[in-house]
Amino acid sequence: MSSDVVIIGGGPAALTAALYSLRGGKTVTIIEKDAFGGQIADSPRVENFPSIRKISGLDFSNNFFEQVSNLGADMEMDEVKSIEKKDNLFIVKGQYGTYEGKVVILATGVKHRHLGVENEDKFFAHGISYCAVCDGPFYSGKDVMVIGDANSALQYAILLASECHHVDVVTLFDKFFADKMLVDGLMSLKNVSIYHNRSAMKFNGTDKLESVTFQDTKTKEIIEMKDEACFIAIGQIPDNDRFNNLVDLERGFIITDEDMKTKTPGVFAAGDCRKKKWRQLATACNDGAIASLNAGNYILSLK
């Protein structure tokens, strides 16, 4: 199967890249291994996307999928194993098929690192969140918790402290692994409490999160902390090692320039999978549009 543009991934960055490419008259193949829509499909509410006051993440994803599909994109459920460049074509090998394209746009996203403790999946979107920017406003004026000890966790805590009644920050170790400016900023806040050396054991509740059970790693004491929401910020997991023959990686994230170009002409990256500061729905769509427009220019240069 051959297309002008092969897009790896099915989230907002991928779908935006497909939208722009299709409207630009290009043929497009989108390859997704799990489900189209990306992580935003799991969000109960989206209220921070321009022109849309409120929509569920699932409805947003379904609308986006239908829009791109109706424009003629070829949607393939497959897991890409490798990509090779031969002359002016890219050979994309999946578990079930092989695809060819003049350009490739990598939009594989990331997965939030989970704690892996009891009931974590049960209370996801019912008190457990991995994005304070996305879901923090839903808990305005309430008591919440942040689990994590690096930059993202402290950024979450500082943001939440500005709109929530109280924020408990819980870390596994006896110190923070964040920039001094963030640590100082967090320590200065009056509505923040900090608890070190606590390991999460279980999330508790009936229909929604009510408390979290911890064990003190030094005293072995079992502690239950009651908060209405828990924001987990212990890192994100990219999945880009299989592309390291074509792109440079930093901690697993793809290095691009502001045009979404990688080190290999004809290979672009967009969205959360690339090295960047902010990972939001709007920034993913921004990346996808830029990648598509520059991919179009690259295809023109081949003629």
Whether the pLDDT of residue 2 is over 90: the answer is: yes
Whether the pLDDT of residue 192 is over 80: the answer is: yes
Superfamily designation of domain 128-232: FAD/NAD(P)-binding domain (3.50.50.60)
CATH among 2.50.20.10, 1.20.1290.10, 2.60.40.640, 3.50.50.60 for 2-112+236-301? 3.50.50.60
**Strand bridging mode 28-32 / 222-226:** unpaired
What global pTM score does this model have? 0.79
Both tokens assigned to 35 = 């489900």
Q: Work out the pLDDT band at 220, boundaries 50, 70, 90.
A: very high
What residue segments make up the domains of the chain, in order of their start? 2-112+236-301, 128-232
Q: What is the pLDDT of residues 89-125, one digit of tens each?
A: 999 999 999 999 999 999 999 988 999 999 999 999 9
Helices then strands, counting H and E runs in the chain, come out as 6, 19
Q: What is the pLDDT of residues 230-272, one digit of tens each?
A: 999 998 899 999 999 999 999 999 999 999 999 999 999 999 9
Q: For the chain, give the percent of residues with pLDDT over 90.
A: 88
The amino acid present at 60, given as its one-letter code, is: F
Distances (CA, A) of 161 to 77, 132, 143, 184: 42, 11, 9, 14
Cα within 13 Å of Cα(252), Cβ side: 12
Asked whether this chain's domains 2-112+236-301 and 128-232 adopt the same fold, the reply is: yes
The mean pLDDT of the chain is 95
Q: What is the pLDDT of residues 41-99, one digit of tens each?
A: 877 778 889 999 999 888 999 999 999 999 999 999 999 999 999 998 999 999 999 99
Whether the pLDDT of residue 39 is over 90: the answer is: no
Of 16, 182, 20, nearest to 4 by C-alpha is 20
Q: Report the C-alpha gap between 186 and 71 in whole angstroms.
A: 48
Q: What is the distance between the terminal CA atoms of the chain, rounded to a whole angstrom?
A: 21
- The confidence score (pLDDT) of residue 147 equals 98
The sheet with strand 209-216 has its strands ordered as 198-205, 209-216, 222-226
Mean pLDDT, range 280-299, rounded to an integer:
97
Q: What is the per-residue burial (b if ≥16 Cβ within 10 Å, else e) of 40-76? A: bbebeebeebeeeeeeebeebbeebbeebbeeebeeb
- The confidence score (pLDDT) of residue 190 equals 97
